[in-house]
Amino acid sequence: MSNPIVTARALAKTFRSGDGRIEVLRGVDLDVAAGESVSIRGESGSGKSTLLNLLAGLDAPDAGSLAWEGAPADAGRRAQFLGMVFQSFYLIPELDALQNVLMAARMLKPPDVAERARAKDLLARVGLAERTRHLPAQLSGGERQRVAVARALMNSPRLMLADEPTGNLDEHTGEAVIALLLGLCAETGTALVLVTHNAAHAAKCARGLRLHDGRFA
């Protein structure tokens, strides 16, 4: 693999539990190429979400290194380098769909006319052109996740991290969201790392990995 956009080497993470310690990750290596889609599966507690948080720079490893496009991961670059989609949507309830998507742009600068146009275009591309002024409470679960996908793509990220994005959706809606996520990432050249329990969803990615006992099996 030439010039990966994400390079993780020997990532390790341990958490305290009472008087003991739990080794969640035990030296994980991972390279992700530009535009590549990678799925990560594993039983509950195998470290999938912990690994995603480390790849995003939201948490620091106890050991190992992480590079984004060949340079050490830097929180100051996060909003532009990557987008994230979670199981629980994390939309701001007081803001409508358009305002929620624009929140990503506000992390970099006050949104201007071009950013507002891009946010509207992204909502149209996820099938919500007529729902831009609806609050999250007025949207279905699938629609809320579509807003979250549009928000994650707002800053044209190089990498998308998705943590069980269909976990709160029914099977049919979940299939539609995964197809949308993969399709948009392929269209924009955004690399995707998808954490999922769903074998069918994982199989749609170009490469599949499995975490077991804190390591890739």
User: Which stretches within the chain are classed as H helix?
Assistant: 48-55, 78-81, 97-106, 113-125, 141-153, 171-188, 199-203
Q: What is the pLDDT of residue 2?
A: 58
Q: How far apart are the C-alpha atoms of 20 and 102, rounded to whole Å?
A: 43
Question: Which residue range forms the structural domain that includes residue 145?
Answer: 6-216
Q: What is the mean pLDDT of residues 173-198?
A: 95
| The pLDDT of residue 108 | 82
Q: Does a structural domain hold residue 84?
A: yes
Distance of CA 92 to the CA centre of its chain: 18
- 37 pLDDT exceeds 80? yes
Query: How many domains does the structure of the chain reveal?
Result: 1
pLDDT digits (tens, 9 = 90+) for 95-113: 999 999 999 988 888 888 9
Q: What would the two tokens of residue 215 be?
A: 């390591």
Tell me if residue 203 falls in helix, strand or coil.
Answer: helix
Cβ 123 vs Cβ 180: under 8 Å: no
Is there a domain that residue 35 lies in? yes
Indicate whether 1 pLDDT > 70.
no
129 assigned to some structural domain: yes
| Backbone angle region of 196, left / alpha / beta, with phi > 0 → left and psi within -120 to 50 → alpha | beta
Q: C-alpha angle 37/39/40, rounded to 5°?
A: 145
Average pLDDT, the chain: 94
Domain annotation covers residue 208 = yes
Q: Is 116's pLDDT higher than 60? A: yes
Residue 178 within a domain: yes
- CATH of residue 143: 3.40.50.300
Rounded CA gap, 200 and 47, in Å?
A: 21
Q: Residue 1 domain-assigned?
A: no
Give the residue among 42, 207, 90 at the shortest CA–CA distance from 101: 90
Q: Is 85 helix (H, G, I), strand (E, B) or coil?
A: strand
Mean pLDDT of the 50-58 span? 95
Residue 41 lies in a domain: yes
Q: How far is CA 212 from the centre of its chain?
A: 21
pLDDT digits (tens, 9 = 90+) for 119-164: 999 999 999 999 999 999 999 999 999 999 999 999 999 999 999 9
pLDDT at 110: 83
d(CA 102, CA 112): 10
In the chain, % of residues over pLDDT 70? 99
- Examine the pLDDT at 173 and tell me if it is beyond 60: yes
Res. 191 pLDDT band, cuts 50 70 90: very high
* Mean pLDDT score, 85-91: 94
